[in-house]
Structure 1
Amino acid sequence: MMTALSENEFLVLNGAHLKKMATAKELARAVGVDPAEAEAVLNAAADKGQLMVAEGKYLLLPDGTNAVHEFYKIAYGALRSNESVLAWYERFETINDQFIKQVSEWQSADGDDRIQARLIKTVERLTKNIQELTPLIPRYQAYVDRFGASVALVDQGEKDYVCKPTLDSVHNVWFEFHEDILSVIGRPRDT
């Protein structure tokens, strides 16, 4: 019998679920909790067999993934039939298609500034749109903050923050957000 996760346990374990493999500090920063609290949650989950630790990074195991998905079902079940949320998601898919195209163009053009400017405008549009959901899902403010931090670094000339996989780049934040909203509405990711 699985014990339901608390809100903080969910935040931290969901961070591990979305990031795939990260340190306690990276997870704490991503989900907006104190690093010591994140580490305590992660260590307790490791003791329960919900995740494993490899070289200081945490990887969610099937029991942990199941607990996270169960929390999504319980906490967000009503949103799965909320017409405004589902309409929001359909609008997101259009923006998502634009973003994917722009990232590919940016990579193909070796970080062209004009393409980068369009890509950042798309990120800013999504950030504004996410704020429509924060009354229903307050933790989504963390995505707004993370996008803002990454965009600020890109604006300062740190092009790695567009899509480098080892950083909290706009691409990585976008990918995690997409996984998250799919879990909220109960849809699998299309391949």
Structure 2
Amino acid sequence: MNDMHLVMHGLAIKKHATPEDVASGVGLDLDAVRETLGKLVAARRVVEAQGRYLLAPAARMLLDADYGRYYDSVRASPAFQAGYAGFERLNGALKQLITDWQTISVRGQRVPNDHSDKDYDAKIVDRLGDLHERAEETLEKLACALPRLAIYRDKLEAALDKAEKGAIAWVSDARIESYHTVWYELHEDLLRLMQRERSE
């Protein structure tokens, strides 16, 4: 597996990303990412606009063709299969938790959560902590099968730690590497490796 594949893979997950986003997402050195992005732009596989990068349609097809070549052995490993199955089992619980975080019941109606009810928010953060404990074994299995996936484990732990200390944006704010943002990107990464479509 080479830097070009990893950078393209990172762009497929991040969609419209800075070099820093890609480096953080796939665990490559920032200078290597910048150099590789330059080559990809020159080859017209990547489009650059105002410091952000996006895969060209032809590059997406090339990337999709590479997954079987690079990840067949990973997908066949018992650790990865167990980790993937465990992740999918937990994914529904995480989605429900985020729904409960983003909305609240008022007189029998679900309305946007303005986060003025600190006790309600604290209970959701406690649930997130419990879910993460259940996810730890799954995250370890995935990292064992493919070491770069440990990036997600570490980011999830960091986001949870900040949320538990009262910085509630780290639960689901899409503008930062919140717990939900990182979980979503891990799911996207796994789906791409498995060459499956997102069901929701």
TM, length-normalised to structure 2: 0.83
Aligned length: 186
The reply on whether 1:69 has 2:64 as its aligned counterpart is yes
For 2:194 and 2:78, the matched residues in 1 are separated by: 11
Which consecutive unaligned segments of at least 5 residues does structure 2 have?
Answer: 105-112, 116-120
Cα offset, 1:167, TM superposition: 1.0
Residue 140 of structure 2 is aligned with which of 131, 134, 146? 131
Distance 1:129 1:164, change over 3 A: same
Residue 88 of structure 1 is aligned with which of 80, 83, 87? 83
Aligned to 1:47: 42
Cα offset, 1:131, TM superposition: 1.1
* 1:88-167 alignment runs, 5 A limit: 88-109=83-104, 110=113, 111=115, 112-167=121-176
The reply on whether 1:174 has 2:169 as its aligned counterpart is no
Aligned residues of 2:83 and 2:139 also touching (Cα < 8 A): no
Cα offset, 1:55, TM superposition: 1.5
Distance 1:26 1:122, change over 3 A: same
**Matched position secondary structure for 1:134:** helix
Cα offset, 1:152, TM superposition: 2.4
For 1:42 and 1:75, the matched residues in 2 are separated by: 20
For 1:50 and 1:153, the matched residues in 2 are separated by: 37
Letter in 2 for 1:95: L
Aligned residues of 2:67 and 2:192 also touching (Cα < 8 A): yes
Distance 1:61 1:102, change over 3 A: same
Letter in 2 for 1:158: A
**Matched position secondary structure for 2:137:** helix
Deviations 1:61-108 (A, max 9, x none): 222222322232111123445565434323322200000000000111
CA RMSD of aligned residues (A): 2.0
Aligned to 1:3: none
Aligned to 2:10: 15
Pick which of 92-101 and 135-144 moved more.
Answer: 135-144
TM, length-normalised to structure 1: 0.87
Aligned residues of 2:7 and 2:37 also touching (Cα < 8 A): yes
**Matched position secondary structure for 1:143:** helix
Which consecutive unaligned segments of at least 5 residues does structure 1 have?
Answer: 1-5
Cα offset, 1:123, TM superposition: 3.1
Highest CA radius of gyration, 1 or 2? 2
